[in-house]
């Protein structure tokens, strides 16, 4: 992302949701709404035309849902990252959206300033998953039938024991600061471990590290 405010595309079929986010972002010098979409197809088109930094994407939209729109946007030439808005009655779609390339998830009943903070996190190149969504994601992995399609487990030979510890904590939704506290290391060292994991596991971002941690069996659903 270049200098200047984060360029945001709002994609939600509810005008009130878009309006609320737009008005709040208008008072934030770090964020700029550069477009709005009411359907998934419109979001894909606008993302290609205006090249936003972040697309705030609702899952349930007409014409094309947010999962397919996310897949098309992240597979395209634009560098836009997708922050998905979800609700507790539709969070069974989280796994599919992760697979589609989303970089973050927030629930709609979060405070608006927390959603704006999430936009900044995603724009900075990190990833964010709301705690409630993380819980659902763990449950998705734990309950998925063995016959369901899944990525082949990542090779682990090149991962050090400390990197395995870090990956486990990432899979539990821990931030770099929390990882540093848990392992009694500096935040800079925690960031370095995460960076090496991204490279070794060929992961696009932190969200894919979360998926990998689950698929390697490092994180399981608490009993």
- Distance in angstroms (rounded) separating the CA atoms of residues 171 and 84: 19
Please report, in angstroms and rounded to a whole number, the separation of the first and last CA atoms in the chain: 41
- Residue 198 neighbours by CB under 8 Å, 6+ apart: 204, 205, 206, 209
Alpha helices for the chain (secondary structure H): 15-26, 40-50, 66-75, 94-100, 112-123, 131-143, 161-171, 176-183, 187-200, 206-215
Q: Is the dihedral of CA 105, 109, 114, 120 positive or negative?
A: positive
Q: Is 157 helix (H, G, I), strand (E, B) or coil?
A: coil
CA-CA-CA-CA dihedral for 154, 156, 159, 160, to nearest 10 = 150
Q: What is the pLDDT of residue 178?
A: 83
pLDDT of residue 173: 74
pLDDT at 223 (0 to 100) = 45
Q: How many CB atoms lie within 10 A of CB 17?
A: 16
Instruction: Say what the pLDDT of residue 156 is.
Output: 58
Q: What pLDDT was estimated at residue 150?
A: 43
Residue 102: name the closest of 73, 126, 70, 125 by CA: 70
Q: What is the structure's pLDDT at 221?
A: 53
Q: Could you say which residues of the chain have pLDDT below 70?
A: 1-2, 88-95, 126-157, 220-223
Return d(Cα 117, Cα 120) in angstroms, integer: 5
> Cα dihedral sign for 162, 163, 164, 167?
positive
- What's residue 146's pLDDT? 41
Closest to 152 in 3D by CA, of 68, 211, 222: 211
Residue 157 is predicted with a pLDDT of 64
């Amino acid at each position: 992302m270049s200098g200047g405010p984060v360029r945001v595309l709002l994609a939600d079929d509810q005008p009130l949701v878009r309006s609320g986010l737009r008005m709040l972002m208008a008072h934030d010098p770090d964020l700029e709404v550069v477009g709005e979409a009411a359907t998934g197809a419109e979001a894909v088109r606008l993302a290609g035309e205006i090249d936003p930094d972040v697309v705030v994407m609702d899952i349930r939209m007409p014409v094309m849902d947010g999962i397919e729109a996310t897949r098309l946007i992240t597979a395209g030439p634009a560098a836009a990252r997708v922050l998905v808005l979800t609700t507790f009655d539709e969070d069974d779609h989280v796994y599919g959206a992760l697979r589609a390339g989303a970089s973050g998830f927030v629930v709609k009943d979060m405070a608006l300033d927390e959603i704006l903070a999430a936009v900044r996190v995603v724009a900075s190149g990190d990833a964010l998953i709301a705690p409630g969504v993380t819980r659902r994601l763990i449950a998705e992995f734990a309950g998925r039938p063995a016959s369901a399609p899944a990525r082949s487990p990542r090779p682990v030979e090149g991962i050090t024991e400390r990197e395995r510890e870090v990956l486990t904590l990432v899979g539990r939704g821990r931030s770099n600061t929390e990882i540093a506290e848990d392992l009694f290391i500096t935040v800079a060292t925690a960031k370095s471990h995460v960076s090496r994991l991204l490279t070794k596991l060929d992961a696009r971002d932190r969200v894919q590290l979360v998926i990998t941690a689950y698929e390697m069996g490092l994180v399981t659903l608490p009993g």
